[in-house]
Amino acid sequence: MNRAFERVKPGEDPPPPPPELIQWARETVYGSLAGVVYGAWSAHRAEMASAPNPNEALNVRRHRIWTRAISDTTLHGVRLGSFVSVFSATRLALESTREIRDMWNVVGAGVVTSSLTGMAIPGPLSVRLRGAALGVAVGGAATLPLGYCLQELERLLPEHFEAITTTGTASKEEDSSEKVDLTEMFIGQVEAELEEYKKEERRRRRSWFSK
């Protein structure tokens, strides 16, 4: 957060964005794209399920199909993108505040996001409070096993990725060292041949002048 309000002097390059911001933007984009795909699929399914009207003109039917597809893709993209955006921002904020990466960050993000979604239900304040309470219960129950699974996977995957990274780095270093050695050998051989050629030219000149 401090980096977002850091002052940049004239002539200085701005600092790179924090990795949390990049991760939040990436997850938000993925959620929006998933919502767009789901909206397009739901519009196509609804259009296939509806019976065609024989008295409807072809251009009118095409206009109605495109209108429904655009409406559903935009609506579901905004809804799912907003949900994922709030969930990701809350999870990253909890990780930064607690300085611990565990399952409770996922559970807390799910509870906050679900409660805010319940508060967005149209109606009086009592209905919104009941929706928020229901969102807390549903969000906690849904994200508890998800957070546990992610925590167990993160305990196992870093060792695997570290081994792959180490192997890849070692192989790259070996390849680069072999390339450097081969290049040095080739340059040395060329220099030796040029030196031998110069000596041979000198001998020929001396023999020519001696004649």
pLDDT digits (tens, 9 = 90+) for 97-144: 888 888 888 888 888 988 888 888 888 888 888 888 888 888 888 888
Q: Is the pLDDT of residue 51 over 70?
A: no
Largest CA distance in the chain: 118
Question: Quick one: pLDDT band at residue 33, thresholds 50, 70, 90?
Answer: very high
Return mean pLDDT, the chain: 76
Q: Which residue from 150, 77, 70 is spatially nearest to 109, judged by alpha carbons? A: 150
Q: What percentage of the chain's residues is helix, strand, coil (to nearest 5)?
A: 85, 0, 15
